[in-house]
């Protein structure tokens, strides 16, 4: 029987809780790893992606606080690679332990991933990707005055956050390596935080660029490149909703790409939170009618896989 190949995108709540320390984040990932191990035990071949918005934002603050002529702050693409490596290591360690406890003979590998974008992407003139901690309006104004180049925007009613360019992924440099790892039964962690954004320079060489790629779009691109059967996008709610947090709120269960595009036109999904998840799911389902995407929460993952809970998206 053909094993199902799935790309599963972990939301930030699977990594970062109220404790931003390394130990706190490792503890959160140890819990998340158990849900992933359930799928692996059932025979799914997994590629796991994850966000890094809070982590890369916090690292940038640490870099700027220690910035000096002798110890210059690292640029954003390098900070993205650093957090991708750190979170990848934590998750790899947590999964190794979870699989060992279950006596499942599976190897896990974390891969720092270069994601190619266009230097002409309009996102570079319109920063929109929120990173770092949530601030009050007053705190955001204070921070913006300290650094004239920093832009803050309100993020889905949860507070104000720094925003940076978020270009769309064109291709993923390491996708053939990821396919090869899957063929050898290796659980692969890749495209963490959307991957490290790189562009082609005038000599057609790859070089890093300051941006943060949305991890859901990167996950969709990777799922397409490796021909995954299923794209699982995990977030903080069990379902996608229309009229969210209103008296007429309605959860979406089985929904077509056409229906979702109509809801997007109505402005149903917040740009900083649910919109990229829904848009990524639409792209994945549209590119191949045999495939589906599901958006749900980590806690609801088992019910989604076995009982059809969550929001399932198919071409139509």
Annotated catalytic residue: which of 4, 5, 13, 93? 13
129 is catalytic: yes
Annotated catalytic residue: which of 106, 162, 277, 292? 277
How far is the C-alpha of 125 from the C-alpha of 312, rounded, in Å?
Answer: 34
120 is catalytic: no
How far is the C-alpha of 174 from the C-alpha of 134, rounded, in Å?
Answer: 33
Name the helix (H) or strand (E) containing 254.
strand 254-256
* Environment class of 179 (CB within 10 Å of its CB; exposed 0-12, middle 13-18, buried 19+): middle
User: Could you give the maximum distance between any two Cα atoms of the chain, in Å?
Assistant: 60
C-alpha distances in angstroms, 283 versus 35, 49, 148, 159, 191?
A: 26, 17, 36, 29, 18
Annotated catalytic residue: which of 106, 129, 162, 292? 129
4 is catalytic: no
315 is catalytic: no
Q: Where are the alpha helices (DSSP H) in the chain?
A: 22-41, 53-65, 76-101, 137-146, 175-183, 215-225, 257-265, 274-287, 301-307
Annotated catalytic residue: which of 106, 162, 215, 292? 215
Among all residues, which ones are annotated catalytic?
12-13, 129, 215, 277
């Amino acid at each position: 029987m053909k094993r199902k190949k799935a790309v599963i995108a972990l939301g930030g709540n699977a990594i970062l809780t109220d404790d931003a320390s390394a130990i706190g984040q490792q503890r959160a990932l140890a819990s998340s790893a158990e849900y992933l191990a359930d799928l692996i035990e059932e025979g799914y071949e997994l590629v796991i992606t994850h966000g890094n918005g809070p982590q890369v934002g916090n690292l940038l603050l640490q870099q700027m606080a220690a910035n000096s002529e002798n110890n210059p702050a690292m640029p954003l693409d390098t900070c993205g690679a650093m957090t991708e490596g750190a979170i990848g290591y934590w998750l790899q360690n947590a999964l190794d332990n979870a699989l060992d406890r279950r006596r499942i003979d599976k190897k896990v590998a974390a891969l720092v991933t270069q994601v190619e974008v266009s230097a002409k992407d309009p996102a570079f003139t319109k920063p929109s990707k929120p990173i770092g901690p949530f601030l009050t309006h007053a705190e955001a104004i204070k921070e913006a005055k300290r650094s004239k180049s920093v832009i803050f925007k309100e993020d889905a009613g949860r507070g104000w956050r720094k925003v940076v360019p978020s270009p769309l992924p064109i291709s993923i440099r390491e996708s053939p390596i990821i396919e090869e790892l899957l063929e050898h039964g290796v659980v692969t962690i890749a495209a963490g935080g959307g991957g490290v954004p790189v562009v082609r320079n005038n000599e057609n060489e790859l070089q890093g660029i300051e941006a943060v790629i949305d991890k859901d779009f990167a996950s969709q691109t990777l799922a397409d490149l490796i021909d995954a059967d299923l794209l699982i996008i995990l977030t903080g709610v069990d379902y996608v909703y229309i009229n969210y947090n209103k008296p007429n709120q309605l959860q979406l269960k089985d929904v077509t790409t056409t229906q979702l595009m109509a809801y997007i036109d109505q402005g149903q999904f917040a740009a900083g939170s649910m919109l990229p998840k829904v848009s990524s799911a639409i792209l994945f389902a549209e590119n191949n009618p045999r495939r589906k995407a599901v958006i749900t929460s980590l806690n609801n993952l088992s019910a989604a896989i076995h009982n059809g809970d969550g929001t399932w998206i198919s071409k139509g």
